[in-house]
Amino acid sequence: MENILDKIVADKQKEVALKKNLIPVKQLENSVLFDRKTNSLASALRNDQAGIIAEHKRRSPSKAVINQKVSVQDVALGYQTAGVCGMSVLTDGKYFGGSLDDLILARASVKTPLLRKEFIIDEYQLLEAKAHGADAILLIAAILSRETITSLSQFAKSLSLDVLLEIHNQEELEKSIMPSLDMLGVNNRNLKTFEVSTDISKTLSTQIPDDFVKVSESGISTIEAIKDLKQYGYKGFLIGENFMKTENPGTSAIEFIKNLKK
C-alpha cells in the first residue's frame, strides 16, 4: 500500500499550486485578521495544569467518519468553556473533511489559541493560517527536509505564529531540533500501521531539550495516560477523537478536564 502521507502530500502540492494561482499573497495579507495579535499556544501550555489541546476533526483516513453532526462554533465554545489551552482545527478537505472556513468560524467564536492542523509544505499556507486567525501551525517532520523545516518555521515566527513540530521517531527528532520551534510533538500513531502506543512519547522524552514544550499527540484517551506522560516532562496533550466521537465534544472536554484537575 502506498504510504498515506505520500498521497496526502501529492494532493496538497496540487491544491496549494491552484490556490496560489487564484488568491494572491497580497489578498491574504489584506485580511482583517492578518494584523491580529496572536495568542501563544506554547505559553498557554507552559502555564496550565491540564495542558489539553482539543481537536475539531470530522473524519480521518484511518477512521472514516468521526463526527459530521456538530458545528465547529459549538465545539469551539464547548472547548473554551472546558478551559482547554488550545484548539486544533483540521483544515484539510479531502482526507479530514475540514476547511479554512472552520478556522475562521472557530476564530470568530473564541479567544482560545488556535492551531492550524494541516499538511504544510509551502510558506503560502502559513500566510493562509495567519489570514484565517490561527495562532500556531503544525509542521510534520515526516514530510519535510531539515532545510524546509528551518525555512518554514522561521517564516512562521516572522508572522508571530507558534510552531509545533511533529515527530514519529528518533531520526525525525534529530533532524528537527532548532531554535525556531516552540513545541515538539510526538505522534503516538505509527503512520505505516496506524497502531497507537504512548511508548514512543516516553522513549523520546529524554531527548527533547527543555527549551521546547513537549506535546504528546494521538491515542490519549484516559486521565491515567496523561498523568503518566507528565512524569516524562510532557506539558501538552492533543486529544481529538476522544472528544469528537461523542455527541457533544465540548461537554466531554469539560468532564475530562474537571476529572484531570482533581
The string of pLDDT tens digits covering residues 72-111 is 999 999 999 999 999 999 999 999 999 999 999 999 999 9
pLDDT greater than 50 at residue 70: yes
CA separation for the pair 41, 184 (Å, rounded): 12
The grid coordinates of residue 47 equal: 502555564
What 3-state class would DSSP assign to 181? Answer: coil
Evaluate whether 168 touches 201 at the Cβ level (below 8 Å): no
Work out the average pLDDT over 42-60: 95
At 89 the pLDDT is: 98
pLDDT class for 142, splitting at 50, 70, 90?
A: very high
CA separation for the pair 71, 76 (Å, rounded): 9
Q: In this predicted model, what pLDDT tens digit does every residue of 192-207 receive, in sequence order? A: 677 889 999 999 999 9
Domains and CATH numbers, the chain: 4-261 (3.20.20.70)
Closest alpha carbon to 173 in 163, 188, 184, 189: 184
CA separation for the pair 198, 212 (Å, rounded): 19
At 193 the pLDDT is: 72
At 2 the pLDDT is: 58
Q: Between the CA atoms of 49, 73, 219 and 162, what dihedral angle is there, to the nearest 10 degrees?
A: -60
CA dihedral (176, 177, 181, 186) positive or negative: positive
User: 10 Å Cβ neighbour count for 10?
Assistant: 11
pTM over 0.85: yes
CA separation for the pair 219, 211 (Å, rounded): 25
At 59 the pLDDT is: 87
At 250 the pLDDT is: 94
At 77 the pLDDT is: 97
Q: In this predicted model, what pLDDT tens digit does every residue of 106-119 receive, in sequence order? A: 999 999 999 999 99
Evaluate whether 188 touches 216 at the Cβ level (below 8 Å): yes
Work out the average pLDDT over 211-238: 96
At 1 the pLDDT is: 42
Work out the average pLDDT over 35-43: 98
pLDDT class for 229, splitting at 50, 70, 90?
A: very high
Q: In this predicted model, what pLDDT tens digit does every residue of 169-195 receive, in sequence order? A: 999 999 999 999 999 999 998 766 778
